[in-house]
Amino acid sequence: MDINFNINEDHNKLLSSQLKKKLKLVGLGGGKDKIAKIHSNGKMTARERIDYLFDNPAKALEIGAFAGDQMYEEQGGCPSGGVIVKMGHIGSRQCIVIANDATVKAGAWFPITAKKNLRAQEIAMENNLPIIYLVDSAGVFLPMQDEIFPDKEHFGRIFRNNAIMSSKGITQIAAVMGSCVAGGAYLPVMSDESIIVDKTGSIFLAGSYLVKAAIGELIENEKLGGATTHTEISGVCDYKAKDDKDALDIIKNIIGKIGEPKNAGFNRSKPLEPKVKVDDIYGILPKSRSDQYDMRKIIHRLVDNSEMQEYKANYGKTLICAYARIDGWAVGIVANQRKVVKNAKGEMQFGGVIYSDSADKATRFIANCNQKKIPLVFLQDVNGFMVGSKSEHSGIIKDGAKMVNAVANSVVPKFTVIIGNSYGAGNYAMCGKAYDPRLIVAWPSAELAVMGGEQAAKVLLQIETATLKKQGIKISKEKEAEILKTITERYKKQISPYYAAARLWTDAIIDPLQTRQWISYGIESANHSPIETPFNVGVIQV
């Protein structure tokens, strides 16, 4: 092992260790005191409820664990967006579960809470997965109601999706395990079946205080909308559970009787572990985001038996396109090559940059995968498309547009892993969030931005100093250095994978060693939803 390998290994293992610490902290939700209060009321926490449902909680995948991270500090914070979303198996059936975290502002909905719920519903709809709602929420966080209530992607979209999923036959089950108030009261009724826990669950459009204020009626919450009322008088709920575990057992029973879904027919053989040492990923991936490395070495540690069949290996060398298997599933991999290479003319090409020939190759490969019904995996470490007169004259915009067109119109499931850089149009061409990957995850080494930090900081410095000079303010070298430092620190924060995860630009930040599990799980989910739309790229310039 060379010294650089050891430096890289130490750096990337430290990043993974920091990730685990952050996840542990996020897992406490509103804190230990709030958890103790939940337990004292005879209730389980949101995470305990989900773990009880799943066959093997340790193998479940969490979506949006860092949602809301450092976004609502003035309001006291909103860990995980105040709602837990996980994918796991219940009675061997893959499901997605949404559970309000009552330790965070009594489960109130922040803007990011709505966005996270919608993402969970999107995953269920794309993959035809049963979806379970564990409701325990005080409703919309009123101080921010203008950011959650009226727009297309706000709170009301949840109920629209309930109706769409019902029409498509996607199973929805709701268990009311705490408060379920105001507009949120429609969610259990719009699910296929609903459960309410006696004494702790309640459903009403308006609580007792609001009822008194509105119409002068005096009534207790339990009589207004408790379990007995809704299972014996109103008929709103289908089952009355004696406690949380009883409610969760009812859900397990229902899920256990659902018929088998249609199969999309994605190819799978016996899973094999990589032949080479997977842990070496830590040493191969450079500490510096500008350093070069061979992406093939990463791929060999992600694919079964470390085997791949490269497509057009000697053409368009700054993109690697290859057929392989991950946990037995056949996949088509599109990955940025991060080392300097020579093209057929002997010209040097920069690693991590997409050239015309690379884009042309990827477009054809993506079309082939759609033709053969092979899921696509994008491994991003991209600085963007090549610029300059030579590239412009060779039609880089045209070739880039063809690749973006193919990615956008691809009908096979797409999965994106942001390994390192994810800059500018390279993010789009390599299936960024805007291009509907079924799952998109980032390694702790990832950076997402319009351009690299150093480059962007210098551009922003020029803009800021020019503005100050117009105002007649003289800029010394010391002042310029101070401005540059401020800009760099701000930009560095914005390109962090945690900044992206907080806003749900990615579904998760994962340890590199979890990559195979996420992709395999994602394809298993996608296999529940047959492809019904033919691949068609529309009009493109050739």
Rounded (5°) CA angle 138-65-18: 135
**In whole angstroms, what is the distance from residue 78 CA to residue 66 CA?**
10
Percent of the chain with pLDDT over 70: 96
**In whole angstroms, what is the distance from residue 425 CA to residue 402 CA?**
13
Q: How confident is the model at residue 342 (pLDDT cuts 50, 70, 90)?
A: confident
Q: How confident is the model at residue 129 (pLDDT cuts 50, 70, 90)?
A: very high
**pTM, rounded to two decimals:** 0.93
- Beta strand 414-423 with 439-442: parallel, antiparallel or unpaired? parallel
pLDDT confidence of residue 151: 87
Q: Which two tokens stand for residue 396?
A: 């880089």
**In whole angstroms, what is the distance from residue 67 CA to residue 86 CA?**
13
Give the mean model confidence (pLDDT) for residues 436-462: 83
Q: How confident is the model at residue 507 (pLDDT cuts 50, 70, 90)?
A: very high
Is residue 493 pLDDT above 90, yes or no?
no
Q: Which two tokens stand for residue 287?
A: 């500490």
Please state which of the ranges 94-108, 127-141, 260-274, 474-488 shows the lowest mean pLDDT: 474-488
SS (H, E, C) 369-382: HHHHCCCEEEEEEE
Contact 262, 530 (CB under 8 A): yes
Is residue 313 pLDDT above 70, yes or no?
yes
Is residue 75 pLDDT above 80, yes or no?
yes
Helices 46-53 and 244-255, axial angle in degrees (round to 10): 40
Q: CB atoms < 10 A from the CB of 72, how many?
A: 22
Q: Using one digit for the tens of pLDDT, what is the confidence trace for 185-222?
A: 788 889 999 999 999 999 987 767 777 778 888 887 78
Q: Using one digit for the tens of pLDDT, what is the confidence trace for 244-296?
A: 999 999 999 999 999 998 999 999 999 999 999 999 999 999 999 889 999 99
Rounded (5°) CA angle 102-166-183: 40
Give the mean model confidence (pLDDT) for residues 161-186: 91
**In whole angstroms, what is the distance from residue 167 CA to residue 172 CA?**
11
pLDDT confidence of residue 453: 62
Percent of the chain with pLDDT over 90: 72
Is residue 426 pLDDT above 70, yes or no?
yes
Is residue 1 pLDDT above 60, yes or no?
no
- Find, among 307, 308, 306, the residue nearest to 274 by Cα: 306
Is residue 183 pLDDT above 80, yes or no?
no
- Find, among 410, 394, 389, 305, the residue nearest to 358 by Cα: 394
Give the mean model confidence (pLDDT) for residues 55-81: 96
Q: Which amino acid is it at 179?
A: S
**In whole angstroms, what is the distance from residue 16 CA to residue 435 CA?**
27
Backbone angles phi, psi at 54, to 5 degrees: -80, 145
Q: How confident is the model at residue 542 (pLDDT cuts 50, 70, 90)?
A: low
Mean pLDDT score of the chain: 92
pLDDT confidence of residue 456: 64
Give the mean model confidence (pLDDT) for residues 324-350: 92
pLDDT confidence of residue 454: 67
**In whole angstroms, what is the distance from residue 476 CA to residue 59 CA?**
57
Q: Is the dihedral of CA 135, 69, 89, 31 positive or negative?
A: negative
Is residue 489 pLDDT above 90, yes or no?
no
Measured between its terminal Cα atoms, the distance across the chain in Å is 47
Contact 166, 194 (CB under 8 A): no
Q: Is the dihedral of CA 477, 483, 489, 495 positive or negative?
A: negative
Give the mean model confidence (pLDDT) for residues 179-189: 81
Is residue 350 pLDDT above 90, yes or no?
no
